[in-house]
Amino acid sequence: MAESIFEEGVTFATDEEIPGWMELVEIVKDDFPGLEKESYLKTLKKNIARKTALCYKVKGLVVGILLFSPNQNCLSFIAVHPDYRCMGIATKLIDKMLVLMPPYREISVTTFREGDEKGAAPRKLYKKFGFEEAELLTEFGYPVQKFVLNPNNLECILGVKRTEVKLVPYREVYKLLFAYESKKISDALGDNAIRIYHVGSTAIEGAIAKPLPDIAVSVKDLSVIDVHAMETLGYECKGEYGIPGRCYFVKRKDGDISTHHVHCFPEGHENLVRQLVFRDYLNTHPKAVQEYNQLKLSLFEKYPNERYKYTEGKSIFVMNIIQLALKDGFGPG
């Protein structure tokens, strides 16, 4: 997680970034057969005007770049400075692109074929996102392969074993995964669902978190929740599970790997309010997020395989934040 120390984040490229962008292109050009700089510059300027050019800067230096096309549903170009590779920059660029792309569409990218030494890193990266190998092609006289991402495959980035504590840096793509899952939950619960919220650490920008979204649902009537419909989505109903007035669901894959937690409450339930004010307070207080991250890391060192003790260790901090939030007038909205 060291990359978060110097991170400036992903932004839309502007004309001011063009010199730094092209300097990076010059460094990596041998990895892109057929790249012609004059033509590429024209394409870059068009993408900047369309807001389909993303860059990642560190101390003013452009170290990551990405071009994409919402119309053609494709990732057109991605590169990271050799000195800044293996730091999660490419992942952050793709996360941002996925959030900006039209939803529920397949996204394609071409890269080197298997066995080509230049293709080892990009192929591994795309597969990590759930991209699947597709047809073999030839571009600019060079053998390449198309990869395609089905939206449903994006869930492959989620999952934590039942007793494990696993922490990863914040990912913007969590917003997209919440949108996908909340639509499924809304369809399953029908008119009984009043509102669906993204809660927990994956809903807090900058927070390290388990790659496991928490979703809260306010419902009209807890007693008539369509458990069968939730089961068809892969959820197991756990009942109140220690919190009176809650109907709790867990979604798993491969037996013991949890991917989603869903908490259903009657509207206005105290625990629902707490989840919302905790999220909203931290999203407006970045220093508190940093404190929360440090606490999590210290607890992770003590209890890497004891999730209950890890969770208990956060309780005082969480309650203090909730009290501060309520005092400052935060509330569900």
Per-residue model confidence as pLDDT tens digits over 226-263: 999 999 999 999 999 999 999 999 999 988 999 999 99
Given this model, what pLDDT does residue 163 score? 84
CB 170 within 8 A of CB 208: yes
pLDDT at residue 318 in the model: 98
3-154: CATH architecture: 3-Layer(aba) Sandwich (3.40)
231 CA to centre of own chain = 24
* Residue bearing tokens 């800067």: 57
> Distance between terminal CA atoms of the chain?
33
Q: Could you give the residue range(s) of every CATH 3.40.630.30 domain in the chain?
A: 3-154
Q: What pLDDT, on the 0 to 100 scale, is given for residue 143?
A: 96
pLDDT at 331: 77
Fold of 158-327: Beta Polymerase; domain 2 (3.30.460)
* Per-residue pLDDT tens over the stretch 132-187: 999 999 999 999 999 999 999 999 999 999 888 999 999 999 999 999 999 999 99
Please report the DSSP string for 195-256 in residue order: EEEEESGGGSTT--B-S--EEEEEES-GGG--HHHHHHTTEEEEETTTSTT-EEEEEEETTT
Helix ranges restricted to H, 32-172: 37-50, 89-100, 120-129
Residue 212, Cα to own-chain centre: how many angstroms? Answer: 10
Q: Where in the chain is the domain with CATH 3.30.460.10?
A: 158-327
Q: What local confidence, expressed as pLDDT, does residue 333 receive?
A: 56
Name the residue among 109, 155, 105 with its Cα closest to residue 132: 109
Cβ pair 303, 309 in contact under 8 A: yes
> What is the token pair recorded at 282?
């931290």
pLDDT value of residue 44: 98
The pLDDT of residue 332 is 64
Q: How does residue 102 score in pLDDT terms, banded at 50, 70 and 90?
A: very high
What's the pTM?
0.90
